[in-house]
Amino acid sequence: MADLSVEVCGLKFRNPILPAAGPPVRDGAAMLACAEGGAGALVAKTISVRAAQPPEPNMAEIPHGMVNTELWSELPPEQWLEHEYALARTAGLPLIVSLGYTGEEVGELAPRVRPFADAVELSTHYIGEDPAPMVSAVRAAKQALDVPVFVKVSPHGHDMAGAARLAQDAGADGIAAINSFGPVLALDIETGMPRLGGQNGYGWLSGPALKPLAVRCVRDIARAVDLPVIGVGGITRGTDVVEFLMAGASAVQVCTAAILRGPSVFGRLAKELDTWLDAHGHASVTEVVGSALTRGWPDGRAPVPVLDLEACNGCGICETSCVYGAIHVVEDRIALDGEQCSRCGLCVTRCRRDALIWPTPA
């Protein structure tokens, strides 16, 4: 069994898998359920100076994810301060309190949540692409608090590294990346109605479809700043956690999978992560963190994939997908024509039995 514990900004998590601010941590009881389900630490749903009033309906499952018009907490801040945070702290796990959104709002809330918070996370989801409000919020939090301040960034601008540098310069202690992406639109083709409420039915995308974007942003940020990064976006399996760790994340947060599968998902992901680490000879999570930061394909052509006939069962998935005609099934086994192969790599990603793999890098 590998050591799953991690330390981020002096906070010790029993494993690197946390809930993200959202419906699974909507109140103290929900956070206790996440703790019982195996979360390594707790993140509370974002509060602001007043309760949110999200449109209805506000969540819908779609292929490969969800769309939502979720806002911050529907509970007033007074209820969090009087009841929910204290209840969550009975779990005995580090508690990260999420605040939004402007510097003025964060400055008002930060001193009030300090008795409960081991750290705070600042949401930048609704303040647009102008970095000035983010910088103002970080400075307000740092002025009011003596605990780590994380900034959760949204993927609406392309320069994630630049945004992270601005957060670091303002005093942030860590970055959480990313928030949901949008606006997007999903329609019910039986009625023609948007899946979500609101003036135009627009929402925000989360879940597995978001993961490649999130992994790219995490690596960009980890390369740009000397701050711990918490990866967020589309995690459904233990191997997804590994991918974020390799990209430079010190821990991860999970929301959509916890909505769709319940709070036990945290323990399942931790178990799957442990199984992967054991199978690959790693004694701890920290051995994996950042291992993909400097890796990339060399200039020039990639090699032809290696074919393992013993692993092949002749299913033909690779033949169907090979638009270059380099793969054919012959007597229930595939034959690979290296001259025809374009080295596109699709067959390697489609094979379910690892019968086609890239040669081991030098």
CATH number, domain of 50, equals 3.20.20.70
Residues 210 and 325 in one domain: no
User: Last residue of a domain, which of 234, 255, 287?
Assistant: 287
Question: Does residue 275 share a domain with residue 208?
Answer: yes
Domain assignment present for 1:
no
Q: Is residue 111 part of a domain?
A: yes
Q: Are residues 113 and 49 in the same domain?
A: yes
- Residue 208 DSSP code: G
Q: Are residues 169 and 312 in the same domain?
A: no
Asked whether residue 294 is assigned to any structural domain, the reply reads no
Assess whether 65 and 135 both reside in one domain: yes
**Residue 296 placed within a domain:** no
Beta bridge partners of 344: none
Place of tokens 């960009």: 220
At 2 the pLDDT is 97
In a shared domain, residues 265 and 310: no
Write out the chain's pLDDT in tens, 362 residues: 999 999 999 999 999 999 999 999 999 999 999 999 999 999 999 999 999 999 999 999 999 999 999 999 999 999 999 999 999 999 999 999 999 999 999 999 999 999 999 999 999 877 677 889 999 999 999 999 999 999 999 987 678 999 999 999 999 999 999 999 999 999 999 999 999 999 999 999 999 999 999 999 999 999 999 999 999 999 999 999 999 999 999 999 999 999 999 999 999 999 999 999 999 999 999 999 999 999 888 777 789 999 999 999 999 999 999 999 999 998 888 999 999 999 999 999 999 999 999 987 66
Are 172 and 249 in a shared domain? yes
Q: Does a structural domain hold residue 292?
A: no
Q: Does residue 300 belong to any structural domain of this protein?
A: no
The answer to the question of residue 233 being in a domain is yes
What are the DSSP E strand ranges found in the chain?
A: 6-8, 11-13, 17-19, 42-43, 59-62, 65-68, 95-99, 119-123, 149-153, 174-177, 181-184, 203-206, 229-232, 249-254, 306-307, 327-330, 333-336, 356-357
Whether residue 362 lies inside any domain: the answer is: no
Which residues span the domain enclosing 329? 306-357
Say yes or no: 61 and 168 in one domain. Answer: yes
pLDDT of residue 124: 87
Q: How far apart are CA 34 and CA 90, in angstroms?
A: 12
Statement to judge: residues 317 and 168 lie in one domain: no
User: 75 and 28, same structural domain?
Assistant: yes
Boundary-marking domain end, from 287, 320, 335? 287
Q: Long-range pairs for 314-317 at CB < 8 Å and ≥24 separation?
A: 315/352, 315/353, 317/350, 317/351, 317/352
Cα 26–31–36 angle (5° rounding)? 145
> Pairing between strand 333-336 and 327-330?
antiparallel
Mark which of 243, 259, 287 sits at the end of a domain: 287
Q: What is the pLDDT of residue 362?
A: 60
CATH number at residue 324: 3.30.70.20
177 and 272 housed in the same domain: yes
Whether residue 105 is found in the same domain as residue 24: yes
**Closest alpha carbon to 3 in 244, 289, 299, 249:** 289
For residue 15, give both structure tokens: 């494993």
Identify the three-state secondary structure at position 225: coil
- Measuring CA to CA, which residue among 66, 41, 59, 91 is closest to residue 252? 41
Query: What's the number of domains the chain is made of?
Result: 2
